[in-house]
Structure 1
Amino acid sequence: MQTSEPRDPYGAALGALKRFAEAGRFVPGEPIVVTELAAEVGLSATPVREALACLAGQGLIERRRGRGYFYPSLSPAEIIDLFELQLAYLHAALTLYPRGLTPLRKAAVAVDPLDGVQALFDAIINQSTNAALVLAHQRVVDRLKAVLKAERIHEETDGATVRTMVEVIVDGRIPALLGLLESYHERRCSRTTILVIEAA
């Protein structure tokens, strides 16, 4: 029995590519062969090519003129740039809170410290309910996916950093939290060379 192509082949291709990237299916620097990928997801090459073009526009896939599509590999400088962008987004979410501190406190205490610092960062950004900020942050997280996975290896296993940050949020000491974020940022930037190797 032959399966028919979905009603939205482009959406299906885009969803499949995002799932592959999240699952670590692609290796940084790996070429992405459209025909092979289309066969793997059971679609024609056109929607897969369109999805790759969309993801290339978002910086999640690299398009090299005349050579095709590649899963991007980030240099230490690019990782630091993305870490700095994430820090700026966190700063915005923490200093522009029109809904007050209660939603921020609720979001922070709902995070399991063992899920790591990135889980807390996601909660801080998402509670802002600023759609543009949430989308921009998600794009940074998507670009850093392999790096964040490697970074988890270097985090303490007891969740101490997250617990400290959550305590500061619960106390409403946002300037102190910004200081903790700056310190964390400096530590993670000092590990970028190692993270590049481990993310590959």
Structure 2
Amino acid sequence: MARNRDPFTQALSSLRDRIQSGALSGGRPVIVQDEAQRLRLSTTPVREALAHLSGEGLVERAASGGYVTLRLDATTARERYAMRGEYIRMALELNRAALGPLRPPAPAFDPAAPGPAVGRLFSMIVCSAGNQVLWSGFERISGQLARLGRLEPFLFDDVEAEALALQEAYVSAAAETFIEATRRFHARRISAAAALAALAFAERDEKTEAQPGRRGTNGFLA
């Protein structure tokens, strides 16, 4: 059987997507039996996938056993955005030292999906630096920020223009100009980390209240 269809890979891909999309709310336990039933798998590949995702920082071991999904509070979100910006800055410096004025070609820009377009640009920059430690750190942090990135358009009304400006700065501007644009991009999100974390928390509560049989504040079934 092809590797991308084996039970572990199926569970890993599904769980990662559900955590990063917010389908599995932040700070909530992951019920292994429920996920196995949803995927029509045994519990073994689901447990193996959760152990792997723990290494990615997307789930954490619960004190009572099992796993809970990552919840980024404002302080942690600020730290993650700052770290991602630093990884990109280091990759840019490595590329400049190796290539001089030349730059790896930018990926195609999709105005219909500005967030993923920025993600592809940043990923290309870090990957092209050829430093595995740098890439692993960047990939881990980017995965943890994926859910907040999905919520950014609810807070910022210019994400398409911002993404296009970044793309154009990378393609056409001096290296220092793009480095500064990247710094501003992350500084904006560091400043908004509390609001983004609050949006994620509110989204979690909305999904909790929508679950069938969930008890309301008066103790009766909602």
TM-score range, shorter chain: 0.7 to 0.9
- Runs (5+) with no aligned partner, structure 1: 1-5
Counterpart residue number, 1:162: 163
Counterpart residue number, 2:152: 151
1:180 aligned onto 2:178: no
Q: Is the 8 A contact 2:19 2:26 kept in 1?
A: no
- Normalising by structure 2, what TM-score? 0.75
Deviations 1:64-103 (A, max 9, x none): 1323211111111110111011011110121111245544
Counterpart residue number, 2:65: 67
| 1:100–1:111 Cα change, 3 Å | farther
- Normalising by structure 1, what TM-score? 0.82
After superposition, the CA RMSD in angstroms is: 2.5
1:112 aligned onto 2:110: yes
CA distance in 2, matches of 1:130, 1:11: 26
CA distance in 2, matches of 1:57, 1:92: 23
CA distance in 2, matches of 1:74, 1:19: 17
1:7, CA displacement in angstroms?
8.0
Counterpart residue number, 1:77: 75
Deviations 1:130-187 (A, max 9, x none): 4443332222121112111111323344733233333333345112222222223222
Counterpart residue number, 1:25: 23
Q: Is the 8 A contact 2:21 2:146 kept in 1?
A: no
Alignment of 1:179-198 (within 5 A): 179-198=180-199
- Runs (5+) with no aligned partner, structure 2: 202-222
Counterpart residue number, 1:57: 55
User: % of aligned pairs identical?
Assistant: 30
| 1:153–1:125 Cα change, 3 Å | farther
1:192, CA displacement in angstroms?
0.9
Counterpart residue number, 1:3: none
1:113, CA displacement in angstroms?
5.0
| 1:195–1:186 Cα change, 3 Å | same
1:90 aligned onto 2:88: yes
| 1:183–1:23 Cα change, 3 Å | closer
CA distance in 1, matches of 2:5, 2:146: 30
Q: Is the 8 A contact 1:111 1:123 kept in 2?
A: no
Q: Is the 8 A contact 2:106 2:124 kept in 1?
A: yes
CA distance in 1, matches of 2:101, 2:160: 23
CA distance in 2, matches of 1:180, 1:19: 29
Counterpart residue number, 2:125: 124
